[in-house]
Amino acid sequence: MIHYSLEDIDSSYACDEELGVSLYSDRTVFRVWAPLAEAVEVNLYESGDEGCPLFVKPMTKVGRGVWQLELDGNADGIFYTYTYSYNGERTEGVDPYARAAGINGKRGCVLELSRLNPHGWEESDFVSLSRPTDAVIAETHVRDFSKHPSSGIDSADRGLFRAFTVTGSLTPGGLPSCLGHIRRMGYTHVHLLPIADYGRLDETCPEASYNWGYDPENYNLPEGSYSSDPYDPRTRILELKELVMSLHKSGIGVIMDVVYNHTFKLDGSALSKAFPGYYYRYKDGKPSNGSGCGNEIASERAMVRKYIVDSLCFWAREYKIDGFRFDLMAVLDIDTMNEVSRRLREINPGVLLYGEGWTGGAIALDGKSSASKANAGRLDGIAFFNDGYRDALKGETFVDAAVGYVSGNHILRDRIVDGLLGREKWADSPSRLVNYCEAHDNLTLWDKLAVSAVSYHERGRKKMARLAMALVLLAQGIPLLQLGQEFLRSKPLEDGGFEHNSYASPDSVNSLKWDMLDENSEDAQYIAGLIGYRKRHRLLRLGSSEEVQTHSYVADPSAEGTIMLRLFDDSEELLVLVNPISRAKFFMLPDGEWEVNITDCCVSESPLAVCCEGMFVPPISVMVLKRYRWKRSG
């Protein structure tokens, strides 16, 4: 590693230059930031993975650390790398700003991206909501989504971007699967686990291994293993755009899971080769490991911040991505995240931004500067995963036997009330909360109940699962479900246990088993009903803490942990009755006639029953009642 003063680098060399490759009709311009390099060369190749360079061209330093080469002619389709000289040593690497690449991302590719738009792309636009709390997000992995034979997707498209463009796929039992299922459920957004180019998976034989994708290789181009032809850099770009356009046509937004907190490699990364040491944090001369993956990105440095912002703006503009989820967001600094929010909202005012408010270990950044939950009030328009509500609902995540509110720990009642009202000490608004009880990490909800609620039969655990999901969808904030959760997704192992961390587990563990939808269709239908009910009732989607305080009331607690929550405005009042105990519970109702809309098995806008004075709520379930605060005519 070369030695230098970071302060001097930023003051002397930070710049706003457009970096990467710029294509014109008569010329091609390469630009890379490597301020202390002794020399930089461009290597031009015919192939993305084989052969010697066709040409090697020296670059010229043009000011503030930028090296540039201008070639005559449009070099569309040529592959390229850079060779950097530091201390007399030469190192070849991929352009950090590469927007296309060949197999396994070894060489960047010069492409005119405007020529890689599917038919109708110009009419495809961002999916905008009035407020973040209008969103209902489904999280999924591209490969998991369609890999299983029961998905109904042709074998040639399974596990690929193309599966998201298929309409009419069916489960073995004849129910809509994949895209049809997402539409039927009523999700507003699909959150895709990392789709930018990542390491660990060999794109020449992706079937040989599996990975979630949290190991960034090239930040600005799509992962090749999800492409029908990973050797062709055009194909992966076109097919990802087709995925986005397909979801947009269905009114569904696309959220991209991004991993700017670390890279797959440190010394071998494109960033390190361009400028050794600058892009990472060090402590006592060693790489800091706040990501838990061997390194952490120094987002607070001027050109690192520029790189992250440029990358996100590129994805928003070029691929029309509707939102971004930030992995281990607390590794990044507040100023960078606020600049991200500001710049992305210039492109799309309705962009959804949220992330994990924690790190994977100790970081070499002042805690006051970290984009963590503790500093949530200093971040603009960015939401956080509400892991406290998650653990209160189903039990502590990292203790298998721990039970939550839905599985018997009723002393957590006040914690659930706070969740229903969108009250967190670190959040100033429900719009800052992403509520969930299952995600790709850790045990699925169904598996967690299997190992913690061991004294209950399957029917009782199904009631618990329904109740947990209902309490996510009825809570103030932004609800997120892992796709398949609604039909009791499980990740069983051959030894009878369940997979806690399936980041590299085979498809047999990770793939969505669409035949489970046939077995548990009533559960999925119930969750779809709850999603629809949430969409129809603004009282369940309030945008500010002030609104919640003005329009809600919680009855005094009972000794058994039950909850009576009243939500009201000028037109209607909703009464949410929660009974977590194993026997029916009688609730005294406020005066008036109440229409029953939600029971433990049905959701209906038309009254399932009309009651007054009192109501028995079945064991381990929620009921929602409604009355109008104005008299209807007729």
Average pLDDT across each block of 10 residues of the chain; the chain has 634 residues. List them in order: 80 96 96 98 97 97 96 97 97 98 98 96 95 98 98 98 98 98 98 98 96 98 98 98 98 98 97 97 96 98 98 98 98 98 98 98 97 98 98 97 98 98 96 98 98 97 98 98 98 95 98 98 98 98 97 91 97 97 96 97 97 96 92 41
Name the nearest CA neighbour of 546 among 423, 387, 368, 406: 423
**Rounded to an integer, what distance in angstroms lies between the CA atom of residue 492 and that of residue 500?**
10
> Among this protein's residues, is 356 annotated catalytic?
yes
Q: How far is CA 170 from the centre of its chain?
A: 26
Residues 36 and 185 in one domain: no
Residues 595 and 517 in one domain: no
**How much is the pLDDT for 557?**
84
**How much is the pLDDT for 1?**
56
Residues 110 and 164 in one domain: no
Q: What is the CA radius of gyration of the chain?
A: 26
Residues 217 and 256 in one domain: yes
Residues 242, 227: contact at Cβ < 8 Å?
Answer: no
**Domains contained in the chain, number:** 3
Under DSSP, the state recorded for 44 is: E
Residue 634, domain member (yes or no):
no
Residue 459, domain member (yes or no):
yes
**How much is the pLDDT for 5?**
84
Residues 80 and 144 in one domain: no
Q: How many CA atoms lie within 13 A of 588 on its CB side?
A: 4
Given the residues 144, 242, 327, 418, select the one marked as catalytic.
327
Residues 265 and 193 in one domain: yes
**How much is the pLDDT for 630?**
63
Full residue range of the structural domain in which residue 614 is found: 552-628
CATH of the domain at 43: 2.60.40.10
Residues 424 and 350 in one domain: yes
Residues 83 and 139 in one domain: no
> Among this protein's residues, is 125 annotated catalytic?
no
Overall pTM surpassing 0.95 (yes/no) = yes
**How much is the pLDDT for 300?**
98
User: Is the four-CA dihedral 344, 349, 350, 353 of positive or negative sign?
Assistant: positive
Does residue 549 sit in helix, strand or coil?
helix
Residue 217, domain member (yes or no):
yes
CATH of the domain at 621: 2.60.40.1180
Tokens at 298, concatenated: 């120094």
Given the residues 215, 223, 296, 356, select the one marked as catalytic.
356
User: Is the four-CA dihedral 247, 249, 251, 253 of positive or negative sign?
Assistant: positive
**How much is the pLDDT for 633?**
39
Residue 633, domain member (yes or no):
no
**Rounded to an integer, what distance in angstroms lies between the CA atom of residue 326 and that of residue 180?**
28
Tokens at 61, concatenated: 């330093």
